[in-house]
Amino acid sequence: MGRKKQELWVRLMVLLTNGGRCVYCDYAESQVIDHVIPLKANGEDSWENLVPACEACNLGKSDKGLFAWVAELTYRDSASASGARPHGTNGLDWMREQLECAFDDVQARLVGVKAELDDEGRRNWFFDRHWHLSKNAEIWLWRGWADTDAAEARMNGYPKLPPPPPPPRMRITRAHLGQVLEPIPSDEAS
């Protein structure tokens, strides 16, 4: 199964979860969408398997599993902060504790992202406003415009768009050459 280009409304919906931040590092702005379960590991290519990520985390994670990527991130951050042998002989226990905390944090953010994506009102809000945009539209441009609207919509419970007005009733007339449509007055009986 190959990777498909997601609709723009889906990409916006995913990028604006987790407060618009990367779900892995939780401090960089989300720039791309990532598959939690990699496609090479039979992960689905649908919005249920997508999360917001920054470019660095997306490239670093590549096709690694979630635990392997979180371990690599944690080790890199902890090793640079503490030196070659952190906490002497208790270093392995300390590192295991760091890994468990980091994995729990990422898991909690993933649960939050899943809850946001499962919110039907939120999904409908993004679809209603952005379904017409091309898959190839510039995501960074649309994200800037959608970000403030989405924040306001979140505060208002993602309101639905009002239904479009019904189309005017028309009838065919032969007043001119060929067939021409003319509106039917509302007071005229059906």
The pLDDT tens digits along the chain (190 residues) read 456 788 889 999 999 999 999 999 888 999 999 999 888 888 888 888 999 999 999 998 888 888 888 888 888 777 665 555 555 566 677 778 888 888 899 999 999 999 999 999 999 999 988 888 888 777 877 888 888 888 888 888 888 877 778 877 877 777 666 667 777 787 876 5
Would you tell me the crossing angle of helices 120-130 and 139-155 to the nearest 10 degrees? Answer: 130
Beta strands in 54-164 (DSSP E): none
Domain ranges of the chain: 8-155
Q: Which CA distances in Å does 46 have to 11, 36, 49?
A: 11, 11, 6
CA distance 190 to 90: 86
In this structure, the chain runs to a length of 190
**Cβ contacts of residue 63 below 8 Å, gap of 6+?**
38, 39, 40, 41
> What is d(CA 23, CA 108) in angstroms, rounded to the nearest whole number?
10
Looking at the chain, the whole-number percentage of residues with pLDDT higher than 70 is: 87
pLDDT tens, residue by residue, 9-34: 999 999 999 999 999 988 899 999 99
pTM above 0.85, yes or no: no
